[in-house]
Amino acid sequence: MIHATGPLLSVDLSARETTEEDVDDVLSEFVGGRGVATKLAFDRVPFDVDPLGPENRVLLSTGPLQHSRMSFTGRMNMTSVSPLTDGLASSNAGGFLSRNFTGTGYAAVELHGASDVPLAVHVRDDGVEFEEVPDLAGAEVPEVTEWAEETHDLEAENLACIGPAGENLVRYACVMTSETRAFGRTGMGAVLGSKNVKVLTFDGDSEADVEIDPIQTDVHREAATADHIMKRQGTTSVTELANEVGALPTDYFARTDFEEGVAGISGDAVESKKYKKGTCSQCAFACKLPTRDEDAGVETEGPEFETVMAWGSNQLVDDVVEVMKANDLCDRLGVDTISAGDTVAAYLESEDDLANPERARETLRKAAYREGEVGDLLAEGVHRAAPELGVEDWSVKGLEFSAHDGRTLNGQGLSFATSNRGADHMYASFYSKEYPLVDKEAAVDKRGLDGKAPMVAAAEDHNAVLDSAVACKFSRDFMTEERLGSLLDADYDDLLAVGARVVELERAFNNRRGFDRAEDTLPYDIEGFEAALDEYYETRGWREDGVVPELGEADSDTDAAPADD
């Protein structure tokens, strides 16, 4: 089995010192990306760590496929204990950073400790430089890019940075790269903010001796020549389908369709604002969405489907230009578009003022800067704000819901509950089987949970492999199980076993923090849910309370339950 290569670079931000460690044993067992970072975090992060404390660690990592020239490989991983979910979580960003990262020669980079002033950390193949950047305090993401270009001759694709939201410890703040691509969900930007790291840069010319199977040429060629609607509309191509089947959250989750307004935020509406192709590193599929509206004076990348839901249907906004404005503001401030949109929707619902996009953006700014009582409350996310707002808590494990509504797509609903990351659609991507977006033989009925628990577990394992390789989830029509095995030089069943170990380590870490069956829940009922949860645990070999035997059981005084705040 091929795997990422190179040492682990450990960066002590408090002492401003670095060390390198041989981690070949971890690389050979966990491939790279999310797998390697999860194992390193499990071994090196205290189970009772404060997510916003100096002892928390941030791990960035790539996989062996970043040494290919194949489509769907312009991505990389970030792992830490989340200030939003309070559990170990990984985030995945596209764009062009991954190959600049591999150029440094490191398999993974770890940050721990905290700086006493805003800091830029420059990681190159010839060393690491610490630079104090007090003038960047409060800078929005484009300003950081401009600074890097003017002072260091570095491009947006060399950077991973935070905006004002990260500095203000907004629990759903992102780490941004290539200006518009995000290590989204789970609040990685707040973790960097707690460490006073404003920007990381990666640059170098190191090359690894990783041989990728020639099948990569077939994958790349098919990606380039395929006539696929995502090349025109990205993920928004599913918007009208989601609405049609009743899986589009609307009116702060009160409904599952937006019949009266979906046309204004549909894939066609987004495509009408697209002015050029957009892609990630080495990818010929080019499914990104550079959009602009000259009359409104807005130019951005996106919105993708989840943003259309969070800032469109869920807020009763039926104008794609208004969603574009929100998308652009989220990128500038450095926040996850889903969590931010849901949180703003919760507030507007409490004020009986949905369908007010201008107020929505004003509210987002307040949250990003923790301005006043309202901004400070909303910076905490839906789970912590909902009781005070008097609205329903639409989250799982503290993570706000994405689209593909589980009240209709019941297997997706189960996967929202079992996901170690919380209510995230990409942890298992089970929705693709239930719309369906896959071939008939791989599709399942959207209703009911019979037989779906083992399928959800297998889907989680598969996606953990992709996140370790690292490969894009939207490669599903091109990177078959057989091809994935060939690319990683392993039997596919052996790869699934790697994915299962990654999922289990995440679960065991979270068990040590007090997570159990009580966190695997939903704010709505699905018939047969508890039986399916039992079957899921049995499939995984876990206890009926959702705890991993031995590995997830407390064995020292340092194990602690998660905090409610």
Query: Which residues fall within 8 angstroms of residue 151, CB to CB, at 6 or more apart?
Result: none
Give the pLDDT confidence score for residue 208 in this predicted structure.
85
Give the pLDDT confidence score for residue 554 in this predicted structure.
82
Of the listed ranges 36-40, 116-120, 285-289, 557-561, the least confidently predicted one is 557-561
**For 241-257, how does the pLDDT look when each residue is reduced to its tens digit (9 = 90+)?**
999 999 999 999 999 99
**Rounded CA gap, 124 and 99, in Å?**
12
Q: How far is the CA of 305 from the CAs of 112, 289, 332, in angstroms?
A: 35, 11, 19
**For 346-371, how does the pLDDT look when each residue is reduced to its tens digit (9 = 90+)?**
999 999 999 999 999 999 999 999 99
Same domain, 337 and 442: no
**Rounded CA gap, 355 and 251, in Å?**
9
Same domain, 36 and 178: yes
Same domain, 153 and 24: yes
Q: How far is the CA of 427 from the CAs of 92, 357, 375, 473, 503, in angstroms?
A: 11, 30, 30, 10, 10
Give the pLDDT confidence score for residue 209 in this predicted structure.
85
Query: Which residues fall within 8 angstroms of residue 56, CB to CB, at 6 or more apart?
Result: 45, 49, 50, 80, 81, 112, 191, 194
Please determine, for residue 564, whether its predicted confidence score (pLDDT) is greater than 60.
no
**Rounded CA gap, 61 and 466, in Å?**
13
In a domain, 215, yes or no: no
Give the pLDDT confidence score for residue 565 in this predicted structure.
43
Total count of domains within the chain: 3
CB 375 within 8 A of CB 366: yes
| CATH number, position 58 | 3.60.9.10
Tell me the whole-structure pTM to 2 decimals: 0.96
Please determine, for residue 557, whether its predicted confidence score (pLDDT) is greater than 80.
no
Same domain, 465 and 431: yes
In a domain, 46, yes or no: yes
Kindly list the strands in the beta sheet with 127-132, ordered across the sheet, starting from the edge strand earlier in the chain: 127-132, 119-124, 197-203, 159-161, 175-177, 181-183
Query: Which residues fall within 8 angstroms of residue 67, CB to CB, at 6 or more apart?
Result: 102, 207, 208, 210, 212
CB 252 within 8 A of CB 343: no
Q: What residue numbers bound the domain in which 433 lies?
A: 410-540
Mean pLDDT of the chain: 96
Peptide bond into 470 cis (omega under 30): yes
In a domain, 553, yes or no: no
Task: Spell 421-435 as b/e; 16+ CB within 10 A means b.
Answer: bbbbbbbbbbbbbbb
In a domain, 217, yes or no: no
**Rounded CA gap, 399 and 422, in Å?**
5
Please determine, for residue 281, whether its predicted confidence score (pLDDT) is greater than 90.
yes
Same domain, 230 and 109: no
CB 416 within 8 A of CB 255: no
Strand pairing class (119-124; 197-203): parallel
In a domain, 364, yes or no: yes
Same domain, 363 and 430: no
Please determine, for residue 469, whether its predicted confidence score (pLDDT) is greater than 50.
yes
Residue 205 burial by Cβ neighbours in a 10 Å radius (0-12, 13-18, 19+): exposed
**Among 397, 406, 401, 468, which Cα is nearest to 431's?**
406
**Secondary structure (3-state) at 223:** helix
**Among 398, 400, 397, 417, which Cα is nearest to 526's?**
417
**Rounded CA gap, 201 and 155, in Å?**
9
| Residue 373 neighbours by CB distance under 10 Å | 10
Look up residue 379 and give its amino acid. A
| CATH number, position 532 | 1.10.599.10
In a domain, 1, yes or no: no
Peptide bond into 357 cis (omega under 30): no
CB 125 within 8 A of CB 104: yes
Mean pLDDT of 289-305: 97
**For 92-124, how does the pLDDT look when each residue is reduced to its tens digit (9 = 90+)?**
999 999 999 999 999 999 999 999 999 999 999
Same domain, 20 and 108: yes
Mean pLDDT of 145-155: 97
Please determine, for residue 559, whether its predicted confidence score (pLDDT) is greater than 50.
no
**Rounded CA gap, 138 and 161, in Å?**
12
- End-of-domain residue from the set 139, 168, 203: 203
Percent of the chain with pLDDT over 90: 97
State the residue for tokens 């996606």: 463
**Rounded CA gap, 423 and 382, in Å?**
12
| Residue 460 neighbours by CB distance under 10 Å | 25
Same domain, 360 and 244: yes
Q: How far is CA 463 from the centre of its chain?
A: 12
**Among 6, 184, 165, 155, which Cα is nearest to 78's?**
184
Q: Which token pair is 520?
A: 């695997």
CB 169 within 8 A of CB 190: yes
Mean pLDDT of 266-274: 98
| CATH number, position 249 | 1.10.569.10
Q: How far is CA 448 from the centre of its chain?
A: 27
In a domain, 221, yes or no: no
The DSSP bridge partners found for residue 176 are 161, 182
**Among 166, 247, 171, 189, which Cα is nearest to 416's?**
247
Mean pLDDT of 283-288: 96
- End-of-domain residue from the set 400, 425, 451: 400
**For 391-401, how does the pLDDT look when each residue is reduced to its tens digit (9 = 90+)?**
999 999 999 99
- Higher-confidence position of 559 and 108: 108
The DSSP bridge partners found for residue 160 are 177, 200
Same domain, 148 and 256: no
**Among 74, 82, 41, which Cα is nearest to 60's?**
41
Mean pLDDT of 501-528: 98
Same domain, 357 and 456: no
Same domain, 261 and 149: no
**Rounded CA gap, 507 and 3, in Å?**
23
Phi, psi of 122 (to 5 degrees): -105, 115
Same domain, 194 and 48: yes
Please determine, for residue 556, whether its predicted confidence score (pLDDT) is greater than 60.
no
Please determine, for residue 145, whether its predicted confidence score (pLDDT) is greater than 80.
yes
In a domain, 561, yes or no: no
Give the pLDDT confidence score for residue 236 in this predicted structure.
98
CB 489 within 8 A of CB 213: yes
Residue 116 burial by Cβ neighbours in a 10 Å radius (0-12, 13-18, 19+): exposed
Of the listed ranges 90-94, 204-208, 397-401, 402-406, the least confidently predicted one is 204-208
